[in-house]
Amino acid sequence: MKVIGRKSMRCVMAALGLLVLSIGPISPKGSFVTAEAADGAAAAAAEIPQEPKVDADEDGMGGAEGEEEPAIPGATVQVLTDGDFERITQASTGATTGDWFVEFYAPWCGHCRKLDGTWTELAEKLGGEVNVGKVDATANRGLVKRFGVKGFPTLLFFSHGNLHKFAGPRKLDSFIEFGGFKKTDSVPVPGPPSLAGGLKGLLTSVLKDLEGVKDGKMPSQMTIMVLVGSLLLLLVLFATTTLSKPPPQAPSKRAKTD
């Protein structure tokens, strides 16, 4: 059998290449398309009229398709807690977040539950002008003590570092008027407690909750979190202390001498 040389192989490959070029490209289904057919398809596609592109700046519908409009700050009732109240409201400084109308409530309070719908509507009415928030007084004892909350619901208005207490009828129009004019006596907003004061208040709340457990009352969520966290901390300290102890050394045996 004769062996085909390199020159002969190159000639064969060149001939195959010319054959493929003369036939044309391969369609997605695997069949060959002639060059004339391909040129005809391209010309037909060029004659199809294209829909004009809409300029987003001209029709006023700028932005990506399906992009939602940004929410107006304060358009909904914002839930506030001991941990984020001062950071979100900046009540004691009156810096940049604007005025705040805050309800202190208890979940078991019937008057508070009756106020829910009106308070939500108030947030929608005052959206962008006054922020509306609420605080669960049973789970945030630090804020209750800080602002002297003694009954529910307690409605406080914070504006430019001053605190106004609402004492009128609990109706939407009264809330809007109060929020707009603030014609009541005010006092400076008490500052947030120090770290030592916060820990002391937390410990006092936990001990008070534990006393209620004796009478069959359920402890608050904060008390449960503190107890679980303390237990985990004790376990970590115990494990760290145990593992860090060096193993006991066996007494050295002195070599016996003759």
Whether 15 shows a pLDDT value over 90: the answer reads: no
Name the catalytic one among 33, 75, 88, 109.
109
Which CATH number covers residue 132? 3.40.30.10
What length does the chain have? 258
Give yes or no: residues 120 and 214 share one domain. Answer: no
Q: Choose the most confident range, by mean pLDDT, from 15-29, 47-61, 150-164.
A: 150-164
Alpha helices in 99-220 (DSSP H): 110-125, 141-147, 172-181, 195-214
Task: Identify the domain containing residue 226 by its residue range.
Answer: 195-231
Provide the mean pLDDT of the chain.
Answer: 73
Give yes or no: residues 169 and 201 share one domain. Answer: no
| Spatial distance between the Cα atoms of 106 and 112, rounded to a whole number of angstroms | 7
Give yes or no: residues 158 and 85 share one domain. Answer: yes
Residue 115: predicted pLDDT: 97
Mean pLDDT over residues 156-164, rounded? Answer: 91
Give yes or no: residues 135 and 100 share one domain. Answer: yes
As a whole number of Å, the end-to-end CA separation of the chain is 95
Q: Quick check: helix, strand or coil at residue 246?
A: coil
Is residue 240 in a domain?
A: no
Confidence class for position 5, pLDDT limits 50, 70, 90: low
Is residue 212 in a domain?
A: yes
Is residue 241 in a domain?
A: no
Residue ranges with strand state E in 30-185: 78-80, 100-105, 131-136, 154-159, 162-165
pLDDT tens column, 184-234: 778 899 888 766 555 766 677 777 777 777 777 777 777 888 888 888 888
The 8-class DSSP code of residue 138 comes to T
Is residue 215 in a domain?
A: yes
Name the catalytic one among 112, 115, 156, 222.
112
Give yes or no: residues 118 and 159 share one domain. Answer: yes
Residues 6+ apart with CB under 8 A from 250: none
| Known catalytic residue at 109 | yes
Q: Choose the most confident range, by mean pLDDT, from 28-37, 58-67, 104-113.
A: 104-113
Residue 193: predicted pLDDT: 72
| Spatial distance between the Cα atoms of 75 and 123, rounded to a whole number of angstroms | 5
Higher pLDDT pick, 22 / 247: 247
Give yes or no: residues 90 and 181 share one domain. Answer: yes
| Spatial distance between the Cα atoms of 12 and 9, rounded to a whole number of angstroms | 5
Mean pLDDT over residues 36-52, rounded? Answer: 47
Q: Quick check: helix, strand or coil at residue 140?
A: coil
Whether 172 shows a pLDDT value over 90: the answer reads: yes
Higher pLDDT pick, 112 / 210: 112
The β-bridge relationship of strands 131-136 and 100-105 is parallel
Residue 235: predicted pLDDT: 85
Is residue 135 in a domain?
A: yes
Dihedral-angle region of residue 146 (phi above 0 means left; psi in -120 to 50 means alpha; beta otherwise): alpha
| Spatial distance between the Cα atoms of 213 and 82, rounded to a whole number of angstroms | 23
Give yes or no: residues 104 and 173 share one domain. Answer: yes
Question: Which of 199, 184, 112, 117 lies closest to 152, judged by CA?
Answer: 112
Give yes or no: residues 220 and 177 share one domain. Answer: no
| Spatial distance between the Cα atoms of 209 and 223, rounded to a whole number of angstroms | 7
Residue 102: predicted pLDDT: 96
Give yes or no: residues 124 and 204 share one domain. Answer: no
| Spatial distance between the Cα atoms of 109 and 111, rounded to a whole number of angstroms | 6
Is residue 99 in a domain?
A: yes
Residue 19: predicted pLDDT: 46
Give the CA angle between residues 57, 63, 67 to the nearest 5°: 150
Give yes or no: residues 157 and 99 share one domain. Answer: yes
CA gyration radius, the chain: 38
Is residue 145 in a domain?
A: yes
What share of the chain in percent tops pLDDT 90? 32
| Spatial distance between the Cα atoms of 77 and 80, rounded to a whole number of angstroms | 9
Neighbouring CB atoms inside 10 A of 205's CB total 22
| Known catalytic residue at 11 | no
Based on the structure, what is the number of domains in the chain? 2
Mean pLDDT over residues 127-133, rounded? Answer: 90
Q: Which of 107-111, 156-160, 197-201 has the least mean pLDDT?
A: 197-201
Q: Which of 7-11, 182-186, 212-216, 238-242 has the least mean pLDDT?
A: 7-11
Whether 65 shows a pLDDT value over 60: the answer reads: no
Whether 18 shows a pLDDT value over 70: the answer reads: no
Give yes or no: residues 88 and 168 share one domain. Answer: yes
Give yes or no: residues 225 and 206 share one domain. Answer: yes
Is residue 252 in a domain?
A: no
Whether 105 shows a pLDDT value over 90: the answer reads: yes
